[in-house]
Amino acid sequence: MKEIVVLSGKGGTGKTSITAGFAALGAKHLVLADCDVDAADMHLLTAPQIQREEDFYSGKTGKVITEGCVHCFKCMDVCHFDAVLHQEGEFVIDPMECEGCSYCYHVCPTHTIKMLPRLAGKFYVSKTRFNNTLVHARLGIAADNSGKLVTKVREEAKKIAEAEQLDYVLVDASPGIGCPVVASLTGADYVVMVTEPTVSGLHDLSRVYEMIEKLHLKSGCIINKADLNKKITLKISDFLKSKNVETLCEIPYNIRFTEAISQGKTIVEYDDGPLKDKIISSWEKVKTIVSK
């Protein structure tokens, strides 16, 4: 089983559309992992039917168990986050404000405060309309630790792929270079970087590549909307050559990309011409590279 991660340095490059195209082509041979847990959108193109749903707990949150409280106000005094409230004669902890530091727990003279696991989101195992399994998640409102949730999604996807003896885990990573992206990448077999020819596209590509290089991962690149700024496309190509990174394909701008998304379809379903061919040839190249 090989793990392939698709990522981009910034949003709006077409990363999710391309990943969904790969997922349609890979069909039942792969498990799809939507690791963009802060803004998951793979479900919009894959129409998953949820088969399993689980709560995801991460960190702790304080809770005042009112019985036994001697109203000493110590918990309120020590909380740096103003999370302890005194309402109608009782002490309550606002879970949205509580950072789970346990300070109140330690100072409470009557052990009235308990630290409980914090519900940080949910994760789902679903069947997509391409007949592959999609592992996806939703981070709770104001919840952090998206890196841990990404790790959970990846682990679950790998477990399913191994159990069913499938060929690939295909990961849609979140854009950028933050903690959730690193959590999506470490130990992957191959990374497909998706970029576009803008100044920020080139800048973000170089930052993403720097991270990939530090993690010692193999990578290739797809330049989307390549004809919109040929000068910057050339600079991107030169950058990739200087780093010995293969350009998997250059995709010209085409309104059909956006039309496909608005109809909830992948480009390989919506287009029957060169666009579809580009995605197919890129997927074939990736498969060949990871099989070596």
Residue 69 found at the interface with ligand SF4 (CB under 6 A): yes
Which tokens go with 134? 């999609």
**Nearer to ligand SF4 by C-beta: 102 or 258?**
102
Residue 98 within binding range of ligand SF4, rule CB under 6 A:
yes
Residues 6+ apart with CB under 8 A from 253: 225, 226, 227, 228
Provide the minimum distance between the beta carbon of 152 and ligand SF4 in the complex, in angstroms, as a whole number: 23
DSSP conformational letter for 71: -
Per-position b or e across 14-42, b if 16+ CB within 10 A of its CB: bbbbbbbbbbbbbeeebbbbbbbbbebeb
14 and 194 Cβ atoms separated by less than 8 Å: yes
Contacting ligand SF4 (CB under 6 A), which of 13, 16, 17, 112? Answer: 112
* Number of alpha carbons in the 13 Å side-chain half-sphere of residue 64: 28
Q: Which is nearer to ligand SF4, 44 or 65 (CB)?
A: 65
- Exactly one of 27, 39, 50, 70 binds ligand SF4 (CB under 6 A); that residue is 70
Q: Would you say 105 and 65 are in contact if contact means Cβ atoms under 8 Å apart?
A: no
Write the interaction track for ligand SF4 spanning residues 209-228; mark x where CB under 6 A is met and - where it is not: --------------------
The site for ligand SF4, by CB under 6 A, has a size of 29
26-65: which residues touch ligand SF4 (CB under 6 A)? 62, 64
- Residue-wise DSSP of 75-138: HHHH-TT--EEEETTEEEE-TTT-----HHHHH-TT--EEEEEEEEEEEEEEE-TTS-EEEEEE
183 binds ligand SF4 (CB under 6 A): no
Report, in Å, the least distance between residue 230 CB and ligand SF4. 53
96 contributes a contact to ligand SF4 by CB under 6 A: no
- Looking at beta carbons only, is 79 or 173 nearer to ligand SF4? 79
Q: Does 93 bind ligand SF4 (CB under 6 A)?
A: yes
Phi, psi (rounded to 5 degrees) for 112: -85, -15
- Does 83 contact ligand SF4 by CB under 6 A? yes
- 143 counts as binding ligand SF4 under rule CB under 6 A: no
Counting contacts by CB under 6 A, is residue 71 touching ligand SF4?
A: yes
| Residue 75 interacting with ligand SF4 (CB under 6 A) | yes
Q: Candidates 2, 15, 74, 287: give the one binding ligand SF4 (CB under 6 A).
A: 74
Report in angstroms the alpha-carbon separations of 86 from 64, 74, 102, 116, 154: 11, 12, 18, 20, 42
The three-state secondary structure class of 173 is coil
Chain centroid to Cα 113, Å, comes to 35
DSSP state of 65: -
Q: Of 93 and 249, which has the nearer Cβ to ligand SF4?
A: 93
Q: What residues line the site for ligand SF4 (CB under 6 A)?
A: 62, 64, 69-75, 78-79, 81, 83-84, 91, 93, 98-104, 107-110, 112-113
